[in-house]
């Protein structure tokens, strides 16, 4: 088929790669001048197949009330008279039960573990080098209460056969030697050793080059206006350069996806949740992480990317705004300097991006009620983690083939039942 993909972040580019491999004629449209220049540009860098959890969890509403008064809060809420925001928040609250948390986490782990295999497949096929490391994620607990609360995650990991290890402070230092400098701040940790790290921007750009060699055409600097739908079937895309006709369209526009499909009766509860990051040059190897350390207190990931440290996190619900709040920078600096003192934070690059999040944490992948219109969006903080698996699943669905994993509960229809 002749397929048009809307969006050239990591989700759009991986989708293009797998669809081209499946024999389709693929065109990718993006408003930016190149790949991965929005949400995929400077994310946390963790590829978290094991550390993979919904934000909607038991106790989150109560924690959110406490976070309002925290200087370095992991969740920042700027409510406004915005119906999509209020609707999304109410749906998220409904997912904060033990039963729904277990269901959503199991879905996410299924897709994430499949993505682990798909990413390894892509590496083997392309030999792309994106500062990758395969040394796991260490979820670091500063309090006994945090360590005790990890029991529900341990249960889910065990149920899905995901390798893990619960560590005492000495075990944490064995995995991340630089933490020896702050031994007194550590109560324990949860290690998911199959997790990886890597620069999403580098990966996406290199994979885009591989996709071009497979025949994929990228069109840059084009604004997508609307879908061309007639008789319940998509025919193409209206852009500021005119109509681009195609047999099928894949919407991979992150937080902007629901705005495009809403006129066609598709209710897609994806909402932008802003995250922030710092990229810091390493000046002392002995005080830098080996892989990813997830600071559970502030929900901030501190990740090694070659000769840099990427510090990413926080969830700010404030609509489609992409301003750089200095208070958020101070939170990132506080977390990294508290655990890895002696870094060059004054030389850091500060960035923010809009993560496309669903209320249940699970992305939306698959067909819609409009024939030949497909979605691959809503990955939240785990777009980099789930990208290759999501793209492979999508390519199978578009090609009419059975996917390797269960996909019915990933479709948009789960919100309409």
Which residue numbers belong to the known binding site for FAD?
3-17
Q: At what angle do helices 200-213 and 98-126 cross, to 10 degrees?
A: 50
Quickly list DSSP for 270-333. -EEEEEEEEEEE-S-GGGS-SSEEEETTTTEEEEEETTEEEEEEEEEE-SS-----HHHHHHHH
| 322-328 LR contacts (CB < 8 Å, sep 24+) | 322/274, 322/352, 322/353, 322/354, 323/352, 324/276, 324/350, 324/351, 324/352, 325/276, 328/76, 328/276, 328/352
Q: What is the DSSP letter of 50?
A: S
Q: Give the other-Cβ count within 10 Å of 247's Cβ.
A: 16
- The binding site consists of 3-17
228 in Cβ contact with 236 (< 8 Å): yes
Q: Identify the three-state secondary structure at position 400.
A: coil
Nearest to residue 121, comparing CAs of 378, 391, 374?
Answer: 391
Is residue 39 within 8 A of residue 254, CB to CB? The reply is: yes
């Amino acid at each position: 088929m002749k397929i048009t993909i809307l969006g050239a972040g990591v989700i759009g580019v991986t989708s293009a790669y797998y669809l081209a491999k499946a024999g389709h004629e693929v065109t990718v449209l993006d408003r930016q001048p190149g790949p991965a220049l929005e949400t995929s540009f400077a994310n946390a860098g963790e590829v978290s197949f094991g550390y993979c959890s919904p934000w909607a969890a038991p106790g989150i509403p109560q924690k959110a009330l406490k976070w309002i008064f925290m200087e370095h809060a992991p969740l920042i809420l700027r409510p406004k008279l915005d119906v999509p925001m209020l609707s999304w928040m109410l749906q998220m609250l409904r997912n904060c039960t033990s039963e729904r948390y277990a269901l959503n986490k199991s879905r996410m782990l299924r897709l994430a573990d499949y993505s682990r295999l798909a990413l390894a497949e892509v590496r083997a096929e392309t030999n792309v080098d994106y500062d990758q490391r395969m040394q796991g994620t260490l979820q670091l607990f500063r309090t006994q209460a945090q360590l005790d609360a990890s029991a529900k995650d341990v249960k889910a990991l065990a149920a899905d056969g995901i390798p893990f290890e619960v560590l005492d402070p000495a075990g944490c230092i064995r995995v991340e030697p630089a933490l020896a400098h702050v031994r007194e701040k550590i109560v324990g940790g949860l290690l998911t050793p199959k997790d990886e790290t890597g620069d999403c921007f580098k990966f996406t750009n290199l994979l885009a080059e591989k996709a071009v060699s497979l025949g994929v055409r990228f069109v840059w600097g084009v604004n997508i206006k609307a879908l061309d739908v007639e008789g319940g079937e998509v025919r193409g895309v209206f852009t500021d350069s005119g109509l681009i006709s195609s047999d099928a369209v894949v919407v991979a526009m992150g937080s902007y996806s629901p705005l495009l499909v809403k006129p066609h009766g598709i209710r897609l509860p994806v909402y932008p949740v802003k995250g922030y990051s710092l990229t810091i040059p390493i000046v002392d190897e002995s005080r830098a992480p080996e892989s990813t350390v997830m600071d559970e207190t502030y929900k901030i990931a501190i990740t090694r990317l070659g000769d840099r440290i990427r510090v990413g996190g926080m969830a700010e619900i404030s609509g489609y705004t992409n301003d750089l709040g200095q208070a958020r920078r101070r939170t990132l600096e506080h977390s990294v300097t508290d655990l890895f003192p002696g870094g060059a934070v004054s030389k850091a690059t500060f960035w923010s991006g809009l993560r496309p999040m669903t209320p249940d944490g699970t992305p939306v992948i698959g067909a819609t009620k409009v024939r030949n219109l497909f979605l691959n969006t809503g990955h939240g903080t785990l777009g980099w983690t789930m990208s290759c698996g999501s793209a492979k699943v999508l390519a199978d669905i578009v090609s009419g083939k059975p996917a390797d994993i269960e996909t019915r509960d990933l479709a948009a229809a789960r919100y309409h039942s």
